[in-house]
Amino acid sequence: MLEDIIRERQKKLKNLLKEDINPYPAKIKRTILISEALKDFNKLSSSKKQLFLTGRIKALRDQGNLIFIDLKDESGKIQAVLKADVLVGSPTLRRGKDNLNNFKILKQNLDVGDFLSVSGPLFKTQKGEKSIEVKTAEIITKSLRPLPTQWYGLKDVEERYRKRYLDLILNPEVKEKIISRSKIIETLRQDLAKEGFIEVETPMLQPLPGGALARPFITHHNALNCDFYLRVAPELYLKRLLVAGFEKIYEIGRDFRNEGIDRDHNPEFTMFELYWAYQDWEGLMKFTEKLLKKFIPGKWEKITFEAALKKYAKKDIKKLRPEEIDEIFKKEVRPKIIKPTFVTHYPKFLSPFAKPVEDNPDLTERFQLIVDGMEIVNGFSELNDPVDQRQRMEEQERKYRAGNQEASRL
């Protein structure tokens, strides 16, 4: 079935080439986005101004000497109306040909999924549909493969994840998430600049992995003939910039962790990491809420790590082995925290880079912001005692040599 459709479209491509039509032109004229045309529709339709629109054909309705096309670009969708007695040509449909012949070429060779450039004035149909009356039309990309139908063609979730481009074509809500993400990052950058933070970039290829408890990816550098690790976090290099004298820095970049894939984890992901000299964890929590409140409204709550274990897992931290505490928290506690919540006072063995709490050295000045069962932010007062830090790093190295491949290396 698919092979038949592809063969038919290849045949149409050959037809266009026989007519001396280039269905993949390099230069395309567009004077306005579809959304802009619709926004100023009354003014533009009254002026009878000729507009140039481009987009993908999402639907095609052939009614003899009349063709209705749903034309969609990134900004919106409009109906394009092709009439046999109105179409006068285009850069590829030569004006020397008669109107009916131009119309016939398009009628016989257009398909849903093709990209089309049209020009003409705006008008409303008898049913009140905002449309463009096509004076010239140009095929700017002839599609050889059909799009899956919205309802039946791409329901398999794994197929959607493998072919994200199709997912974006058929599911506008996925595209909206990407747009929202871009706007959030842009807003964060603007707000951080106002607060005096500087954006920096640190190495992604590192001689030793560090900065997070995660298993790294390994690659080989041919020119240097040595192995490097894709970074699991930018933390250690950002700290070096603090040592160099920077006081407010951040980085937004890709990190890589060779671990499982689920709702909360992906082998590569974007990390936003921020450092503020002379600031403690209480100040960072206040700043985090100030920075993110516009994206996560409502009342923010606070609970200690130990209290969260008791409340949600009915467990006493003093009766648990260190190696099982983190697993219990991730499986039995975190998924139950829905409202924006700071979980504080993490155990020292889970926080190798955080300062200890002054009145309880077994706990650290560390917090996580959890929303809807997911860890959104992890922050702490940075440990800067070189003796204590060395002891913790040596303990991490011992864990690595004992078989824990997520431990940090010394």
As beta bridge partners, residue 256 has 268
More confident residue, 31 or 261: 31
Mean pLDDT of the chain: 90
Per-residue model confidence (pLDDT) at position 95: 47
Share of the chain above pLDDT 90, in %: 71
227-240 pLDDT per residue, tens: 999 999 999 999 99
Q: From residue 201, how far is each of 190, 238, 260 by CA, in Å?
A: 17, 9, 27
Q: Which amino acid is at 400?
A: Y
Q: Predicted confidence band at 224 (pLDDT cuts at 50, 70, 90)?
A: very high
Q: What is the pTM of this model?
A: 0.82
Across residues 392-398, what is the average pLDDT? 82
Domains of the chain: 2-141 (2.40.50.140), 195-278 (3.30.930.10), 286-410 (3.30.930.10)
Is 60 exceeded by the pLDDT of residue 410? yes
Q: From residue 10, how far is each of 24, 26, 71, 117 by CA, in Å?
A: 14, 20, 22, 20
Q: What does the block give as tokens for 233?
A: 């976090």
Per-residue model confidence (pLDDT) at position 151: 45
**Cα diameter, the chain:** 90
The answer to whether 71 touches 118, Cβ cutoff 8 Å, is: yes
The answer to whether 323 touches 279, Cβ cutoff 8 Å, is: no
141-194 pLDDT per residue, tens: 999 998 876 545 556 677 777 888 888 888 888 889 999 999 999 999 999 999
Is 80 exceeded by the pLDDT of residue 117? yes
Rounded to 5°, angle at Cα 104 from 149 and 52: 70
Helix axes 2-18, 99-109, angle to 10 degrees: 160
Share of the chain above pLDDT 70, in %: 93
Eight-class DSSP state of 311:
I
Phi (first) and psi of residue 382, to 5 degrees: -70, 130
Q: What does the block give as tokens for 225?
A: 């003939």
Rounded to 10 degrees, what is the CA torsion of 11, 16, 20, 22?
A: -110
Rounded to 5°, angle at Cα 159 from 230 and 73: 95
323-370 pLDDT per residue, tens: 899 999 999 999 999 999 999 999 998 888 899 999 999 999 999 999
264-314 pLDDT per residue, tens: 788 999 999 999 999 999 999 999 999 999 999 999 999 999 999 999 999
Q: How far apart are CA 72 and CA 115, in angstroms?
A: 9
